[in-house]
Amino acid sequence: MIVDSVTLFLSAGCGGKGATSFIRKRKRLVGDGGEGGRGGDIFLEANRNLYDLSKFKYKRKFKAPDGERGKARRKKGKDASSLVIPVPCGTLVKDLEERIIADLKKDKERVCVVRGGEGGRGNFRREEAERGKEGERKEIILDYRILSDIAIVGFANTGKTSLFNYLTGKNFKVADYPFATTSCMWAPFRKNYREFIVLDTPPLKEKGENNFLKHLFRVKLIIIVVDNYPEIEEEVNSVKKLINDFDSSYLNKNFFYLCNKIDKIDKSFKRERRFFYLSTKTGEGVEALEDRILKVLG
């Protein structure tokens, strides 16, 4: 199972303390302590080589380094380096009220989440040196949403993974028993020099949580796979109801309704134009589906 949501505790670095130092000028002591360095910021940066948030399973607290103390002769302490935390492309950064701070989709895209404190002033600017300012602290939520263009959705044992394998050229496990797919899988579909990422989802549950539907957030096309002949219309409506219950905005996306396993049904079965009919066992109808995907997604 992929880890797609974690809470992190971030603390930016504190500013360095201003220096207390004196030199003798004209028979009196004069302060010449320098300013402290600035504390380190914390950035989150998208990394295309990460595929979930499992790296945060055992480490969720991060602290940036503090700024260096000021020095004599008005020398400023060194500013601390920033702490950069890599996250997978597709990560939503949220506050505890679920408000989006940033959406990191592109490789190397970054956002500063907490800023380091300013260094304290040394005694060459004032009678007494100052402590550095505290760095910002923040508790945030990382919410990973897989970057994909097409999602395949349906109930158990309808042939979703077989369709996924056809489109992507992969060979993931296919079984005749329900719930063989237990986690989201994604891979590219390539045709006519174009590429789209296809997402295969676990089977929907009519009673239970379907939290994996969060990964439909970015898709442009949802393919609903059914095989309950002749009640395919009812099956499609049941799937769309579950999608609507999870997030009604998903119903604004493009939908394809796909009837699988036509090699097993009677030839006299009346076909409706709004459905795609195919067999992932024989490959019948798959090419027509691929051509339609290219037309819809451009």
Q: What is the pLDDT of residues 193-207, one digit of tens each?
A: 999 999 999 999 988
Residue 154 and residue 140 in one domain: no
Residues 140 and 154 in one domain: no
Residues 159, 273 share a domain: yes
For the record, the structure tokens of 87 come out as 């996250």
Banded pLDDT at 269 (limits 50, 70, 90): low
pLDDT class for 185, splitting at 50, 70, 90? very high
Please compute the mean of the pLDDT values over residues 116-127 and round it to a whole number.
86
Q: CB–CB of 152/48 below 8 Å?
A: no
Other C-beta atoms closer than 10 Å to the C-beta of 54 total 14
Give the domain CATH number at 155.
Answer: 3.40.50.300
Domain that holds residue 178: 150-297
Task: Give the list of residues 6+ apart from residue 41 with CB closer than 8 angstroms, or none.
Answer: 12, 13, 64, 82, 83, 112, 114, 115, 116
Calculate ∠ Cα 196-198-200, nearest 5°.
180
Number of domains in the chain: 2
Cα(207)–Cα(160) distance, integer angstroms = 20
The pLDDT of residue 107 is above 70: yes
Residue 293 CA, chain-centre distance (Å), reads 25
Report which of residues 80 and 72 the model is more confident about.
Answer: 80
- pTM, two decimals, is 0.85
Res 209 pLDDT > 50? yes
Same domain, 247 and 162: yes
Q: Does 290 lie in the same domain as 170?
A: yes
- 110 shares a domain with 162: no
- Residue 186 pLDDT exceeds 70: yes
Per-residue tokens: 239? 């799937």
Contact 292, 260 (CB under 8 A): no
**Is the pLDDT confidence value at 287 over 50?**
yes
Asked if 120 and 131 touch (Cβ cutoff 8 Å), the reply is yes
Instruction: Give residue 90's pLDDT band: very low, low, confident or very high (50, 70, 90).
Output: very high
What pLDDT shows up at residue 208? 82
Q: What is the pLDDT of residue 178?
A: 43
Domain boundary among 102, 126, 144: 144
> Last residue of a domain, which of 112, 129, 144?
144
* Together in a domain, 125 and 239: no
Of 20-29, 170-179, 235-244, which range is least confident? Answer: 170-179
Q: Within this chain, do residues 101 and 179 fall inside the same structural domain, yes or no?
A: no
Which residue bears the tokens 């957030």? Answer: 217
Mean predicted confidence (pLDDT) in 48-55: 95
Tens digits of residue pLDDT in 224-247:
999 877 788 999 999 999 999 999
- Can you give the pLDDT at residue 173? 52
| H-helix or E-strand spanning residue 197 | strand 194-200
49 with 163, same domain: the answer is no
Bridge partners (DSSP) of residue 92 are 103, 143
229-253 core/surface letters (b: 16 or more CB in 10 A; e: else): eeebeebbebbbeebeebeeebeee
pLDDT at position 4 is 93
Q: What is the mean pLDDT of residues 138-158?
A: 96
Domain-ending residue, one of 80, 110, 144: 144
Compute CA 259 distance to the chain's CA centroid, rounded to the nearest angstrom: 31
For residue 281, is it left (φ>0), alpha (ψ between -120 and 50) or beta? alpha
What is the number of other CB atoms lying within 10 angstroms of the CB of residue 86?
17
Taking each helix axis from N to C terminus, what angle separates 286-297 and 160-168, rounded to the nearest 10 degrees? 70
Q: How would residue 24 be classed by pLDDT, with cut points 50, 70 and 90?
A: confident
Q: Which two tokens stand for residue 263?
A: 């090699």
Name residue, tokens 């309704």.
257
Whether 84 and 154 map to the same domain: the answer is no
CATH code assigned at 62: 2.70.210.12
**How far are the Cα atoms of 33, 73, 79, 129, 275 from residue 20, in angstroms, in the given order?**
5, 10, 18, 6, 79
* 136-145: average pLDDT: 98
At 179 the pLDDT is 41
Asked if pLDDT for residue 98 goes beyond 90, the answer is: yes
Q: Which amino acid is at 258?
A: L
